[in-house]
Amino acid sequence: MKIFVELLSILFASLAAVFVLGRWFENFNMFAPDREHSISPEEFSLAPSESYVPSGKKGEKIHCWFFNAGGTKTILYVHGNAGNVSDRIPVIAGYIKNGFNVFIFDYRGYGKSEGRATKSNFLEDAFTAYAHLTGEIGIPAEQIIILGQSLGGIPATRLATQRKNRGLVLEGAFYSVREVARDISDRFPIWILASPDLDNGRELKKLTVPLLVLHGELDGTIPFRHSALVFGAAPENSGKKQKRLVTFESGGHTDLFAIDPEKYYGSINSFAE
């Protein structure tokens, strides 16, 4: 009996160690921030207003850009896990040409923002950015289209279900971290170790605003199959066309706007109306 108890203790200790290691690995690979700006707005003849907004209990400041195109609709761009705001300037330039104002921010640990990248900061900073956009900048909530790209779909979806907005756009977003883990290995159940809280599917069931899903069929980061799962998770709106799925045959993970700009920006334009 004593040997059995000892073996059981060793088993539980091993499982706990594997669980902790799995979560550490997830966090380590989840964020890939870059402090250096690779592109400047001036290279695209853009001149955004710049702000540094306190976020979290420590008041660490996040860096924000607001591109005022004089439009009646504003895209709140929630970017993915890599790089920083500067890497998104090319796609932002297209939004502006199509008459959208654009507000983008860096999470803590990214670019010029203070602090470090964590799961809780990733979510909290998005809400800080929204509050700044609707508060200090003064953009009405009904004019805001929230756009979440890749991992940015997680905080974007939470914003869309918990704050007033015009609609949600998800680009190259995944259904859940656990489904991403299934993509990595279908032989071993490593998905068990993945965070159950990073789940777009569960949150999308609460959505009450229109949804546009954009996904490249050649996406090598978030497999194309996630687009159907994400689209299916959102509810219909009493038979009205509340959600739309647009796919790009030659599109990858971050190049949809460059692969087919007419289709990409056209889809967002029609969605905004």
Mean pLDDT is lowest, of 13-17, 42-46, 166-170, 258-262, for: 13-17
Mean pLDDT is lowest, of 16-25, 74-83, 158-167, 241-250, for: 16-25
- Compute the radius of gyration of the chain from its Cα atoms: 20
How many other CB atoms are found less than 10 A from the CB of residue 248? 22
User: Hey, what domains does the chain have and what are their CATH numbers?
Assistant: 2-272 (3.40.50.1820)
pLDDT at 97: 97
Q: In which residue are the tokens 């009646």 written?
A: 72
From 153, 102, 164, select the one nearest 123 (Cα to Cα): 153
Contact 107, 61 (CB under 8 A): no
Name the band, by pLDDT with cuts 50, 70 and 90, for residue 162: very high
Give the type of residue at 192. I
pLDDT at 270: 95
Tell me the average pLDDT across 89-105.
98
pLDDT at 176: 83
Look over the chain and give the mean of its residue pLDDT values, rounded to a whole number.
86
From 159, 151, 156, select the one nearest 110 (Cα to Cα): 151
pLDDT at 201: 84
Answer whether residue 9 shows pLDDT above 90.
Answer: no
User: What CA–CA distances, in Å, run from 134 to 14, 131, 146?
Assistant: 48, 5, 12
pLDDT at 30: 77
pLDDT at 119: 86
